[in-house]
Structure 1
Amino acid sequence: MSSCLPEIVSHVYWIKKDKFLLETDTYVTWVLFAVEEGRFEYQIGEDCGVAEFGDVVVCPPQVAFYRNVLTSLSFHSITFTLPEGEPQQLQSLLAHRKIRLPQIRRLSENYSCLRRADQQISYSSDNQKLKQHYLADLWLMIAQQVLDFPDAGPFLEEDEIIRDVAIYFNNHAHEAIEIRDVAHRFGMTPVQLIRRFKNAYSINPLQYLTSIRVKQACRLLLLTEWTLDVIAGKCGYENGFYLSRVFRKVMGVSPSEFRKQNRY
């Protein structure tokens, strides 16, 4: 993993965008789009795909970045520079690609902290240092994932069926879902589904589904006064007790603690 960290130039948190101001843009620095909610399609050079929660899309300087919102999009846009000492191996792997980060809890904590820093509306050196810290941690996750799975992502032929499976999970996460039923729906055995899904997304289908549900639970905990049982029903779980077990395992805190700590 690289010991050289990027230096942040700017950070903006965009909330529920229905479209981009520019369909195609070119940046003078590196740029990273980190999705919190929604989905967008992109094309960078010959690489194209769809990004959602858990994905970051990295575009190098002076390369056209096409993007189109598919569903209402909340995301972090971070421009940054890389030091000259950054290994060429990592730069080449990052260029023109989407990276899926499976560390849901760590990712959510970084996003939450970046949102708070952004809401301070301050350009002080302390505020910039905070954002630099969170970018550095994101970068460590990205670097580890890229170096651990150098053949993942757009360097392999896109698995269209698995993309459809991921879309199905996103559209039906609030319902009871059995992996064997999903495998049958898409003409695979459970073993085939798990293998192909992990090859495409670096996590297994259940982890992916759980990440969607926990993210939705986080959103409802912060935006509503609903009880945990009601929220559980909106997130595909039988009751609040089961949601609480899953939530604590993923996020490291109980739903009530998360609600108390993150409302601002």
Structure 2
Amino acid sequence: MSVETEVGQPEVVQEAVRQADAAAAAAGVTVRQAEPGDLAAVIGLFERTWGVGHSPDKSMLLALDFAGNTVLIATRAGKPVGATLGFLGWADGVHLHSHMAAVVPWQRGSGVGYALKLFQRVLCLRHGIADMRWTFDPLIRRNAHFNLVKLGAEVVRFLPDFYGRLDDVITGSDRSDRFEVCWRLDSPRTRRALAGERPPTWSASDSLPLDVDFERLRVDDPAEAARRREESRALFRSALSRGLRPELTGNNDYVFTTDAADSAPGPA
């Protein structure tokens, strides 16, 4: 990357730096805080992902960057391939809200998004921020796996139709249902996830198969996608109202459990 190290940093920060550097090296990218000259490229990455007009404008990004928020860019051979935007929040405790993350289509799944997230983690830990939060569409299986399994974040809230109708390239006219996740940056759950350990086998009260590519279904069969959206919304509302938390099975289907979020894996 490299994330600069400093003498006397706590061990958790030093380890976070090593993990972030390893993630960037594995993805073949350099990750850094954006400079004013990078902001046109950051906007381009956001608009390539969500469509023209669906990025903060340059003045807003400049202000967020100037104030020290995480406006980050990932480059390969000097060319931008990913970007992310996060800003401080204080609802339910001070945290970084990681709002947008974009990767060029031909690099998705190559580890660029993971490298960006781990760089954000380093910056948070250096500044004494223990939690990161963000929202994601609960029906997008790859995002659920990335957030809950690869990073070790945990679902804390269901937000039906959180943004209203977005009409962007990704969501179209679909409802903007979201899970809010909390990534406790130095929890046992997170440390195990980042070490590549397998998650527990969760005890389950209810379940929901994620057995289709929902992004493709929205394009190919909007009516069926809408039916699944309504069905899942009812289940999410019911499960979370009863104190159940969604987790993923080894097949990346949802189960709803009261097990502790930091439960350790049992014997193989």
> After TM superposition, is the score higher than 0.5?
no
The structure with higher relative contact order (CA 8 Å, sep 6+) is 1
TM interval, short-chain normalised: under 0.3
Task: Give TM-score, length-normalised by structure 2.
Answer: 0.27
Task: Give TM-score, length-normalised by structure 1.
Answer: 0.28
